[in-house]
Structures are given as C-alpha cells and as structure tokens.
Amino acid sequence: MTQAVGQHMFKAKSGRIINISSAMGESPLPFQTHYAASKGGINAMTKGLAQEWANRGVTVNAIAPSYFETDMTEASRENANANALIMSKTPLARYGKVEELVGLVIYLACDNSSFMTGAVIPLDGGWSAG
C-alpha cells in the first residue's frame, strides 16, 4: 500500500506516510512474537523509507500505540490475567482511548511536522518507558 500511495506522492513531490506500529515492536509480551516481529518490520520500513523518500518530499513516520479500548482488545480487558500483565507494563494503568490518537495523526499529516521523518512515536501510557 505504501509503495502504491508513494508513487502518487512522488509525482506531487509532497506527502505524509503514517504507519501504524505497536509498542510491541520494541517491547513485546511473551507469546506475541509473531505480532511483535511484524511491528518491528513496520518500524524498520518506516526508518528505511524515510531515508529513501526524503528527497522526494515525502515524510514517513509511525505511531506505536500499546493497548487501546477497541473491539480488538475487549478479550484482554475482560481476562483478569491478560489485563494484569498489560497493566504491569503500562505506568498510566489504563487503556488508551481512540480519540487520544487523533491529535498525533493530525500533527503527522500536516505541514507542522515537515521536519519529522523516520520517527516511531510511542503512544502507550508509558509502556516504552520501562
């Protein structure tokens, strides 16, 4: 998808790629190796493309959230053991709210972020701090 969209951005000599990674791309939980590896790949792709596409006017960054209140995390939130493990890695001791992602997405999409490329930005309640 990034390659396909990038072609249009190259023609315009402008664009913003915002990849969605995960806190687990840098700090995985046990038994999540496959997921962590895929998100680590997103991180590497983000940094590599940021270097390759900078001279084409395209910035490439990623957001690395931890656990947010979504349908995907409902089972974890309801499972006492899983929830305890997640909270043990989250200093703010809560799940993120989807609306807390909005400001960062807007920032990365607008001209105010034009000097930022190759960043993998944690939005994780402190997960990456520990």
**pLDDT by residue (tens digit) across 7-32?**
999 999 999 999 999 999 999 988 99
**How confident is the model over 100-117, as pLDDT tens digits?**
999 999 999 999 999 999
Complete domains list, the chain, with CATH: 16-66+97-125 (3.40.50.720)
**How confident is the model over 27-81, as pLDDT tens digits?**
998 899 999 999 999 999 999 999 999 999 999 999 999 999 999 999 999 999 9
Distances (CA, A) of 31 to 28, 35, 36, 37, 82: 9, 9, 9, 11, 12
CB half-sphere exposure, 81, CA atoms < 13 A: 2
Cite the active site residues: 35
Considering the entire predicted model, what is its pTM? 0.94
Mean pLDDT across 92-104: 97
